[in-house]
Structure formats: C-alpha cells, structure tokens
C-alpha cells in the first residue's frame, strides 16, 4: 500500500466556508464521510 499526502482545503459555498480533506489515490472511487 502506498502512502498519499493529505491535502487540507476550504471552499466557499453560498457564503459559508467549508473545510475538507483530500487523501488517497485520485484514480480510485471517491468516499465522502459527513460529520453531523
């Protein structure tokens, strides 16, 4: 298994700043985990 860097990002959506992390192989399927 290869190690991938974790990227920390923010996006502004309708005036709200959202923080998210990206990690892993971009060619693999996306997995979205929501914290509620």
Report DSSP state, residue 24: S
pLDDT at 10: 97
**CA-CA-CA-CA torsion for 21, 26, 31, 32, nearest 10 degrees?**
40
* This prediction's pTM: 0.63
Q: Profile the chain (36 residues) by mean pLDDT over runs of 10 residues.
A: 84 96 92 87
Rounded to the nearest angstrom, the gap between the alpha carbon of residue 29 and the centroid of all alpha carbons in its chain is: 13
């Amino acid at each position: 298994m290869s190690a991938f860097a974790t990227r920390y990002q923010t996006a502004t959506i309708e005036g709200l700043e959202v923080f998210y992390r990206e990690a892993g192989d971009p060619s693999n399927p996306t997995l979205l985990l929501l914290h509620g």
